[in-house]
Structure 1
Amino acid sequence: MKRIASRDNAQYKTLLKICRSGRERRKSDCVLLDGMHLIEAYGQHYGLPEELLVSDSGVSRPENASYLENRAATTKVTLLADALFDDLATVEAPSGIMAIVLRPRPAHGPADDADAILLDGVQDPGNVGSILRSAAAAGFCQALLSVDCAQAWSPKTLRAAMGAHFQLDIHENCDLPGFLATYRGQSVATALAGAESLYAADLGRPLAWVFGSEGLGVRSTVIAATGVQLRIPMPGASESLNVAAAAAICLFETVRRRLASEPPLADNRP
């Protein structure tokens, strides 16, 4: 097990760049996964990581030690001094373990006949991660992000999504109007006024939900490419909802509606 104790170490400098720079992550095509939850979520879909990074204090934590014991023989492990590890960590209380993985890429382009979420200029990484998490939980299979969205694979987005990245095909820098123009299902954009109520709309299959930026909502060019515009009824005094909250409401109303339309299971009791 190699140990790094100096900030002048070339490998450590590279790790720091990957952690802090979106440009460096794109250049290296590498992603840092902070903590056992993300590492295990990755492993369920893609197998072992390229490399594990462990802090001096984290190596003896039971959860980390158990994982290392079963995988150290087949995965490169690098031990870092606590202060160096803490500078890489994306949380206030570091977990003591990270993984370096190659960024997963979809096997093909966006599918024009499958459920999808489209994010138009959502710029807060926490919101992007939360929406990805809701989409995965609701059974959606793909996410398309416009050019000006927060990076899908940034540490903050990964942390907010809690492993949802590995359950979705994530496409970045997408031409959303272009995708919608050829989409073979129903496309729906959220709007604040002049739109049909979410609770009265048809939410059939396949369905593309479009959610817009925190300040401006969905852009007019994207709205024009959708088939339906819906609003979430808000009888209270608030004028709008956080985009992640709005997305969760819409996605799980879709789930509720679909479950309600399914035939009941047969009762085979004698």
Structure 2
Amino acid sequence: AHLHPLAYARGLADAARAAGVVIHEQSPVTRIQRGAHAVLHTDHGSVRAPQLVVAGNALLQGLVPELERRIMPVGTYIGASAPLGAERAQALIGNNMAVSDTAWALDYFRLSHDHRLLFGGRASYSALPPPGLHRVMQRRMHQVFPQLADIPLQQVWGGYVDITRNRAPHWGRLDGNLYFAQGFSGHGVAAAGLAGEVIAAAIAGQSERLDVFQRLQHAPFPGGRLLRMPLLVAAMSWYKLRDALW
């Protein structure tokens, strides 16, 4: 199955507002003060909370160092082709499934409701987008689908996901009242809803399911704050070379 992730996120926000939740956008947290009541500081004020769920993923930026050491930000990118028409689109993926390959640095693709090919991949492990991203993405799409040699990518965009060393989700609790969910490793659209259910149950006093996830061992990335990114780039360069040769 596949869905429109932005429409899904907006639907979740609408449901949260209908339940009385107040959403504050464009108010990044600059510091977390832990205690019986956590205090979240921003540039223009603070919020006190008896329970805190940290779900910053790739954008923790030093807020919770012991969590940040166990994830790495990875840039992932996707493009939308020009409209193909129903017949040409169906000839690419006749069963309308969402597809990913088995390479280490994988490609993934699906059809949109208006008969475009959405083609993703070309992950960046250096926190910088690949040079000439639009050209690189379009060339890769043409390699996988040579029958689209006359079709350009009209839009290309991207963002950061967080990965763990073992690619397993990293969910749990710190300090009694600080919960966290991270390490979705590219599967967050599907798994984040489950994380919310599991953590909400734990806050309500039923922690058995969260305890299962907390037993998963998550080693920090080697190299410390200065060297862990270069080490990851070197390792992933080897895996990408292996993909190309094999």
Scaled to the shorter chain, the TM-score interval is: under 0.3
Higher relative contact order (CA 8 A, sep 6+): 2
TM-score normalized by the length of structure 1: 0.19
Q: Which protein is bigger by CA-based radius of gyration?
A: 1
